[in-house]
């Protein structure tokens, strides 16, 4: 019994380390206009999940205070990224751009249906518009990247928009990106959410039957050649 307990103590720390090592990287970048494109500041870059405590952001005027909570893998399955709560307070006119990127995604691969849930939970005061967008980068780039657009919507009031887009991931790994553009004319507050989920495309039965027929034909052709 003592030998077993000793072995368990010796094995447990590496297992815990391996679990943490498997967590994907989430990077949060912020930039504040009026200069465009703005100079982006890295607010967080850590294993999922990540939080950014209230901080002034992200330029010479620091006209915005932001608080962020985002989750990827783990605790979520591969191919899912949730910006659970993006809370932004403005004190003056300006434009804030926030990028949330999960990099190192290895599944699902191929042609994948990505569903983007874009939500504005709160929009009060002098927040004039909020634009939410989602992207996939087959090159695994960290925002702000040149990714493949998935979905976008501009909010002037509380609302939700959901869309599913078929996109190719490449061989992997790839990255998922969520971008929030907040335009303020003065003091205001907004709370935002983006959820990305993914589902691998399963070939239809007709496609599978066609593939089976083609393989059977190739097998028959090889047999005939051997017979000759």
For 14-36, write each residue's pLDDT tens digit.
333 333 458 999 999 999 986 66
Stretch 46-62: mean pLDDT: 92
Looking at the DSSP assignment, which residues form a beta bridge with residue 45?
27
Range with the poorest average pLDDT among 24-33, 70-79, 205-214: 205-214
The second-level CATH assignment, the architecture, of 2-222 is Sandwich (2.60)
Q: For residue 140, what pLDDT is reported?
A: 96
Burial class (CB in 10 A: 0-12, 13-18, 19+), 96: buried
Q: Which residues pair with 189 in a beta bridge?
A: 89, 124
Domain ranges of the chain: 2-222
Between the alpha carbon of residue 48 and those of residues 20, 188, 222, the distances in Å are 9, 29, 51
- Predicted TM-score (pTM) of this structure: 0.81
Asked if 57 contacts 43 with a C-beta cutoff of 8 angstroms, the reply is yes
Q: What token pair was written down for 68?
A: 């962020």
């Amino acid at each position: 019994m003592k030998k077993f307990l000793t072995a368990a103590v010796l094995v447990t720390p590496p297992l815990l380390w391996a679990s943490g090592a498997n967590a994907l990287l989430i990077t949060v970048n912020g930039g504040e206009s009026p200069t465009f494109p703005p100079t982006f500041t890295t607010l967080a870059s850590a294993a999922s999940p990540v939080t950014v405590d209230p901080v002034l952001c992200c330029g010479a005027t620091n006209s915005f205070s932001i608080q962020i909570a985002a989750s990827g893998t783990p605790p979520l399955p591969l191919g899912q990224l949730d910006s659970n709560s993006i809370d932004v307070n403005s004190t003056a006119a300006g434009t804030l751009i926030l990028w949330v990127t999960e990099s190192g995604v290895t599944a699902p691969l191929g042609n994948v249906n990505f569903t983007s849930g874009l939500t504005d939970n709160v929009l009060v005061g002098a927040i004039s518009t909020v634009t939410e967008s989602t992207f996939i980068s087959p090159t695994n780039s960290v925002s702000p990247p040149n990714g493949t657009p998935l979905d976008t919507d501009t909010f002037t009031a509380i609302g939700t928009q959901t869309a599913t887009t078929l996109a190719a991931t490449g061989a992997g790994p790839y990255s998922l990106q969520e971008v929030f553009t907040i335009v303020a004319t003065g003091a205001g507050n907004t709370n935002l959410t983006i959820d990305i989920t993914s589902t691998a495309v399963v070939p239809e039965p007709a496609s599978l039957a066609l593939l089976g027929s083609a393989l059977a034909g190739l097998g028959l052709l090889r047999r005939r050649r051997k017979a000759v």
